[in-house]
Amino acid sequence: MISKLQILNFQSHKDSSLQFDPGVNVIVGSSDSGKTAIIRALRWLIWNRPSGDSFRSSWGGPTAVTTLLDKETVITRGKTDSSNEYKIDTQTFTAFGNDIPEPIQKAINIDETNLQQQLDAPFLISKSPGEVASYFNRIAHLDQIDVALKTIQGQVRQLSSEITSDEKRVTSLEKEFKGYVYLDQFEIDLEELEKDQAYLTQLYNNMNQIMQVIETITATDNEIERLKHFLELDKEVNLLCQMWESKIHLENTLEELHHDIIFLSKLDRMITYQQVQQKLTTPVNNLLKMYESKHKCKEDYDDLTSKWTELAKIHSKIIQAKKYLDTLNHKLDSLDVCPFCGSIINKQKIKKNGNKS
């Protein structure tokens, strides 16, 4: 149910608000006061009619019709120079053409029976009983049952007509079927013919194979006749083949002998090398012993050199120690008082003890 309506820049309404009560609401006013414009604004909101921009106010600005349904849902139909949209709460619909977005239709749920204009006849009074019943059927959605029944009845009639037509078709086909009773025997005869055809095909294939064999035999006979004079040369050819085999055998034997000669030559060189090597064995052994003795002398020399170097280092350290000792004695001779106990040093006594020692 519409509980509130606001019209903005629609015909004579610059910014109008209407509050509706539950039940029937009547809009009263003088002529040209904007009563019909309110109905037009509702029609524009509910059915998206009229189209175009003729209903927009001449003073400009966006045109909008906003309604509050059941004090919960807010629906707005708005139009500007650059936009055309429906809005339900926070959801916006654009580019819908001449149709109404389905969520808007379900939310409003209003048809022509809910609106009556000034020049319309009194509500239901001038209607016939059938029209009144049809109106209440639409309100209770019983008209949908009537439409469904009419549709079902039409489908039943169509199905009945199709059944009658199919029955006639079946009767006609049964009569035609009686004219084809010979088909069973025809099928048996056809199977026999297919068997005969298969046998005939097998015979034809066998004949083709026999013809091919005959052609092969004929060609072979012709080839034998063509080569008959070559058979007379069989003995000479066999002799030549034997001679050729003997030649091949001799060539193979010659090649084997050549390989044996090469092997013997290599063997002879190896024997000569072994003899020379045996002659050089004693000098080589002597050289090896001399090399080992030289290596041992080198190790002894390296050892003596290392020890001599260590002795030179020790001798150098002894000389440095003597120099350091002389330096200490010189410093001691120059002292008159002991640096440790502070007593006077008796140098004569020290020299006497030193001489004794």
Range of the domain at 128: 121-181
- d(C-alpha 346, C-alpha 6), whole Å: 136
CATH number of the domain bearing residue 11: 3.40.50.300
Bridge partners (DSSP) listed for residue 86: 77, 93
Are residues 8 and 60 both part of a single domain?
A: yes
In a domain? residue 55: yes
Are residues 56 and 128 both part of a single domain?
A: no
Q: What is the pLDDT of residue 357?
A: 47
Are residues 43 and 108 both part of a single domain?
A: yes
Give mean pLDDT in consecutive 10-residue pieces for the chain, a chain of 357 residues.
90 91 83 87 88 85 90 89 88 79 83 64 68 70 74 88 89 80 78 89 90 90 78 74 86 88 86 77 79 84 86 87 82 71 65 52
In a domain? residue 293: no
Phi–psi pair at 242, nearest 5 degrees: -65, -45
Q: What is the pLDDT of residue 353?
A: 55
Number of domains in the chain: 3
Are residues 28 and 95 both part of a single domain?
A: yes
Q: What is the pLDDT of residue 6?
A: 94
Whose CA is closest to 39, among 80, 93, 2, 85?
Answer: 2
Are residues 104 and 63 both part of a single domain?
A: yes
Q: What is the pLDDT of residue 77?
A: 92
Are residues 41 and 82 both part of a single domain?
A: yes
DSSP-assigned states of every residue in 108-155:
H---GGG---TTSPPTTTTS-HHHHHHHHHHHTTTHHHHHHHHHHHHH
- Which residues are within 8 A (CB) of 79 and not within 5 positions of it... i.e. 6 or more apart? 53, 56, 62, 63, 64, 85
Q: What is the pLDDT of residue 356?
A: 47
Q: Is 41 helix (H, G, I), strand (E, B) or coil?
A: helix
Q: What is the pLDDT of residue 117?
A: 63
Q: What is the pLDDT of residue 123?
A: 62
Q: Which of 117, 132, 162 is the last residue of a domain?
A: 117
The total number of residues shown for the chain amounts to 357
Q: Which of 97, 117, 137 is the last residue of a domain?
A: 117
Q: What is the pLDDT of residue 283?
A: 76
At 338, list the tokens. Answer: 């002991």
- d(C-alpha 233, C-alpha 235), whole Å: 6
- d(C-alpha 88, C-alpha 75), whole Å: 5
pTM score: 0.38
